[in-house]
Structure 1
Amino acid sequence: MYFAALLARTEDGWEASDTELDDVETLSDLADLAREASPDEDTVLVLIEQEDAWFGVVRIDGEEDPRIYVSDASAAARSSYGEILLTAELLGRDPDEDDEPDLDALDLDGTEDGEDEDDEDAEETGGSGELVPHGPVGDIRILDDLGVSEKELKSLSQDAVTEIAEALGASEVLEAVR
């Protein structure tokens, strides 16, 4: 089960709204949705959580590019919402490269040159067919200035969205939309 919410920072504190991601197909769509939640170009956080699997935070500060953190890229890659967040740049790939694999670099057994078949446990294939690393990816310091340190972000439990809201002092407004 998924939960997604927008937390918009205002002069009066945080405002929360439940958000439907069915019409969101790209990170750009998600950023536009977040910017609509804050006409004053204040900070907006998009919190996405899939129970027991992964969570993601997208931070929009005015017209700046979105900052993203995903707790487990390989789990998120198996999710349509996670795939929105896992951009080529976030995964450390050149966004200008084509997504076609280099067939010359593959051995007949399907592994890349110099790669052991047992190394496949280190990365998983996402929905796009590309390898995605296990574990967190993105801006680990995304919430530092809001009171959630890198260490705290990495240690969040299965109810990460609630824990983030508590740290921000926004748990009551988040629970109102949950």
Structure 2
Amino acid sequence: MYFAALLARTEDGWQASETDLDDVETLGDLTDLAREASGGEETVLVFIEQEDAWFGVVRVDGEEDPRIYVSDAAAAARSSYGEILLTDELLGRDPGAADNLDDLVDLDGTEEGDEEADDDDVVPGPTEEAAPVGPLGDADILVDLGMSNKALLALSGDGALTGEALGEIADTLGCADVLEAVR
């Protein structure tokens, strides 16, 4: 189960809307969705929460590149919604590295020159391989909106708080009421 909401900061304050991510396949799709919600240069935050296991915040300011924060990259890597946020750049990977895996391994799972693959050799997927346990991304994503990086990181450190993290963030930003209205 997941929850996703768009929060647009307008001249009149924050406006929130629940959003469905079923048609979102890439960070670009998510960014476009956020820009459509703002209708201009306003700041839009995308809140994503997956089964109280992790949360993510994506910030889109006009035409600038999106900024991303994920509370637990390893947990997010196991989620199709988390994979949207865990870009090669965020993970510090070479963007073409995953495309070259087929060049390195023969169809039988052995590397060129190997006799046979050991059944115990399980090769993790490219996202799982590079996703660290714990927070990842821009911890300063909300600093200018009133939430320190230290406070954001504190919400990421305890699994028990994860379910309440988006509410805590919204409360700090002064938009808890609008977030709760779409929850």
Tell me the distance in 2 between the aligned counterparts of 1:90 and 1:49: 18
Give 4+ residue runs of structure 1 displaced > 2 Å after superposition. 96-104, 107-110, 124-131
Residues 25-60 of structure 1 deviation map (CA, whole Å, 9 limit, x = unaligned): 000000000000011220000000113210000000
Helix, strand or coil for the counterpart of 2:91? coil
Q: Tell me which structure has the larger Cα radius of gyration.
A: 2
Tell me the distance in 2 between the aligned counterparts of 1:145 and 1:8: 15
* TM-score between the two structures when normalised by the length of structure 1: 0.84
Helix, strand or coil for the counterpart of 2:38? coil
* Count of aligned pairs between the two proteins: 166
- 2:150 is matched by which residue type in structure 1? K
**Percent of pairs identical after alignment?**
70
Tell me the distance in 2 between the aligned counterparts of 1:35 and 1:125: 34
**Residue pairs, 1:24-35, within 5 angstroms:** 24-35=24-35
Tell me the distance in 2 between the aligned counterparts of 1:52 and 1:143: 21
Unaligned runs of 5+ in 1: 111-123
Cα contact 2:24–2:30 (8 A) shared by 1: yes
Which residue of structure 2 aligns with residue 168 of structure 1? Answer: 173
Cα contact 1:14–1:170 (8 A) shared by 2: yes
141-150 vs 125-134, greater mean Cα deviation: 125-134
* TM-score between the two structures when normalised by the length of structure 2: 0.82
Tell me the distance in 2 between the aligned counterparts of 1:166 and 1:127: 36
CA RMSD of aligned residues (A): 2.5
More helix as a share of residues? 2
Cα contact 2:69–2:135 (8 A) shared by 1: yes
Cα contact 2:34–2:44 (8 A) shared by 1: yes
Unaligned runs of 5+ in 2: 106-110, 156-160
